[in-house]
Structure 1
């Protein structure tokens, strides 16, 4: 009996070890010899081409066959009707005097790195330097040139809530991270070429997109390590090539919940998510590469709660309706979303009990929000951000920010500064540790900042 009991115990322990081995990934698949291992994104799994048509489809076809089915569509030569297709050259942009007065947001690396903060500069300054730097523009179409872009005819209907337009402008060679977007997207290319890789997947978002704040993956898009990102060997890919004049409908890639930290995305209720998911939406991810001098314009619009109703659209659209004649709602209304700390409220809290609302106080307080392991470059970026804040908010240039000046921050600046703020401080005020921070007085924060006088942070 004793021998039998010992055998049973050994058998049980062996079984437990077997299960533990599996759960701990010791027997995980080795992808080292997979043909897509250490290759660019999109080489690891089966792929297919995208459906295409010539020009913009009718509203009825676009809504019923593509939007409501969340199916991407390449529209060949559709953007060639816009004046921008013929007009947009550097000389044309520079000949406009207002180019020197319009400020834009400029990314600092052509291979996208979302930990690096973009910088603001005039459109003219960007035009004079972008060919000799790694910088590229990501911002609204500057006001003097909005008349050059026609709103796609397949979007000219009351069923669509247009949120924003985004102009992407580079000397070529840009590479995005693998990411998702929370909006429907119609991208029109005016200069250069683009290659896009889309991923269809039934996997939960977190299995492919590990950085929830910003909805992107840290996977190296030039050399995908399938042992580190094994799910990318199990998905199917859609490859898209765009030529000048082409437009691409990119379906909403994922549904953004209200606990999503990048609050420039429209908050959607759980009921909306369930409805859209029931209509067959799966998570879809994408990666973009651009070549040669490259200019594209996105039109973002909200997903439908159920489906878009084509019967509400008129058959005839004004083909020449331009962006400056179009009403955009904006990407977010932070005042309606009390689950996130937006910039105006952050600044008010920051200066509430401070002895002096000056640049030094702002730099010290913001630097305290950075992770302890922040490197010198991140600290410099924080200081540049503080200087940018004063440039935009301190309207009378007296070196002090008042409550009135905070209240007068434009919605556009508030949105941009809120997004940049998310790179430095956690935004969700549901976090207990953040609540503890918010309960501190300005004097307490000043005291803590003074204790850091010997650290690198005070070198800001």
Structure 2
């Protein structure tokens, strides 16, 4: 605490300021759950989707979160997605998914294995919706025209047996999250208002605060913040504007699907005059999500040149890893998710030469590639992140490429 003196109209005034040694432990909420005891503001609830232009003006452009009560009920997934039903879709059960274990280790499973073990092993799946299940999920009505279809980034399934929570973090995209089973609570902090107060880890878009036990002496900023709280029940959808700080807690058997998309710069009203030409029903399998497939093709494999003459390349990992991963992303405004990175590597004929199988160890290496490239840990890789990669992380990429080559060589020896 700092003490200073000032003369005001002939009086001595003592000014007390909170210095670096100030004790914040007496503040309400110290060592309690984030938001406990702090001023909280309710999030608006509506009982029907607004039309796309109203949604754009009031919520997306207006930077306002909203809960759409009953919004998830428009999708068949709300009534169909029992464990028994999900296990019966053979094309889905064979798809690889990524999940965290109770020991916080991330690994790949088939979706069928996940369904078998998620309750026993306390698994938490955060991964792109299996393609065989996308016909059960409808694109939320406000996104069906106006230009949103060209901004779709990814669709992710959040699946657990409950009791999960996220860290406090931000996303660089707008988000509509629909809950098909269980319930969620979203604790949010308005980004424009508090962007200079809430400190994020320099390695990514998240805070190091313990959301279950906030130490105000270590993180005093959280004692002086307003919180927005939303309750999302089964059958509801929830819109969160980009970059709002948030923590999501999930309860009971919990399945949700969210749509990440880039915000519109301007609403295209004329696009809504042609709704008859839009997909009907508007299921997710009929839409293109940029971060999954990118624009990488075999002719973009990085080529080495010497004296302007193309050399013959060996099979295996590329020499220029930055160029290789950058070519997976269409342009500066597009992005790549983990599932997109894995799917492109698996389809890469240069990497997966005849006789080479994609094995689980290669899934792990791909996940590590992604973790190194995703510098802000927001679940997306952008070209800029690849361009700005540090020398230290570039060495990590080379080490991973070497490990990948070892697995390829072992398979070649067995042929």
Question: What TM-score do the two structures reach when normalised by structure 1?
Answer: 0.62
Tell whether 2:159 aligns with 1:169. yes
Shift of 1:197: 0.1
What CA distance in whole angstroms lies between the structure 2 residues aligned with 1:172 and 1:131? 9
Per the alignment, residue 135 of structure 2 pairs with 147
Q: CA deviation at 1:87?
A: 0.5
Identify which of 276, 287, 302 aligns with 1:326.
Answer: 287
Query: 1:237 and 2:227 equivalent?
Result: yes
- Tell me the distance in 2 between the aligned counterparts of 1:203 and 1:321: 36
Summarize deviations over 1:235-274 as a string: whole Å, max 9, x none.
Answer: 1110011111100010011xxxxxxxxxxxxxxxxxxxxx
Relative distance call for 1:155 and 1:437 in structure 2 (3 A) is closer
1:295 aligns with 2:288: no
The match for 2:45 is 52
Q: Secondary structure at the match of 1:314?
A: helix
- The answer as to whether partners of 1:73 and 1:250 remain within 8 angstroms in 2 is yes
| Greater fraction helix | 1
Q: Which of 186-195 and 150-159 deviates more?
A: 150-159
Greater Cα shift, 225-234 or 390-399: 390-399
2:267 is aligned to 308
Quick one: distance in 1 between partners of 2:290 and 2:364? 15
Deviation at 1:212, TM superposition (A): 3.4
1:409-451 CA distance string (max 9 Å, x none): 9xx9999664234379xx655467459969x9x9xx99xxxxx
- For the 8 Å contact 2:146–2:270, the answer to whether it is kept is no
| Contact 1:63/1:310, CA 8 A, preserved across alignment | no
Is the aligned partner of 1:127 residue 2:115?
yes
Indicate how the Cα distance of structure 1 residues 88 and 436 shifts in structure 2: closer, same or farther if over 3 A, else same: closer
Deviations 1:29-59 (A, max 9, x none): 3210111111111125311111111122211
Show structure 2 runs of 5+ residues with no match.
1-15, 305-313, 320-344, 376-384, 403-415
The correspondence for 2:169, drawn from 167, 171, 179, is: 179
Give yes or no for contact 1:357–1:400 (8 Å, CA) kept in 2.
no
State the SS of the aligned residue for 2:118.
helix
Distance 1:399 1:192 in 2: 38
Aligned to 1:281: none
Q: CA contact under 8 A between 1:179 and 1:209: conserved in structure 2?
A: no
Q: Distance in 2 between matches of 1:163 and 1:302?
A: 7
- For residue 108 of structure 1, what is the aligned residue in structure 2? 101
Pair 295,437 (structure 1): closer, same or farther in 2 beyond 3 Å: closer
Mapped partners of 2:269, 2:134: distance in 1: 27
CA contact (8 A) 1:201 1:235 kept: no
Give the equivalent residue in structure 2 for 1:83. 76
| Aligned mates of 2:166, 2:127 — CA distance in 1 | 15
Q: Which residue of the partner structure matches residue 178 of structure 2?
A: 188
Deviates more, 1:80-89 or 1:156-165: 156-165
1:9-43 CA-to-partner distances (Å, cap 9, x unmatched) read: xxxxxxxxxxxxx99x8554321011111111112
Structure 1 residues 171 and 432 mapped into 2: Cα distance closer, same or farther (>3 Å)? closer
In 2, Cα distance between equivalents of 1:432 and 1:174: 33
Please give the secondary structure, in 1, of the residue aligned with 2:119.
helix
Q: Distance in 1 between matches of 2:32 and 2:233?
A: 24
Shift of residue 304, structure 1, vs aligned partner:
2.4
CA RMSD of aligned residues (A): 4.4
Instruction: Indicate the structure with greater strand content.
Output: 2
Matches within 5 A, 1:6-405: 26-109=19-102, 118-160=106-148, 161-202=151-192, 205=195, 207-253=197-243, 284-305=244-265, 307-310=266-269, 312-314=271-273, 320-330=281-291, 333=294, 393-394=351-352, 396=354
- Structure 2 CA distance, aligned partners of 1:435 and 1:95? 42
Gaps of 5+ in 1: 1-21, 254-283, 336-343, 349-355, 363-388, 402-408, 447-460
Q: What TM-score results when the alignment is normalised by the length of structure 2?
A: 0.69
What whole-Å deviation, never above 9, does each CA across 1:178-213 have from its counterpart, x for those lacking one? 000011100000000001100025566474242233
CA contact (8 A) 2:78 2:180 kept: yes
Say if 1:67 and 1:308, in contact at 8 Å, map to a contact too: no
CA distance in 2, matches of 1:312, 1:240: 32
Mapped partners of 1:98, 1:435: distance in 2: 37
Distance 1:61 1:294 in 2: 30
**Which range is displaced more, 177-186 or 223-232?**
223-232
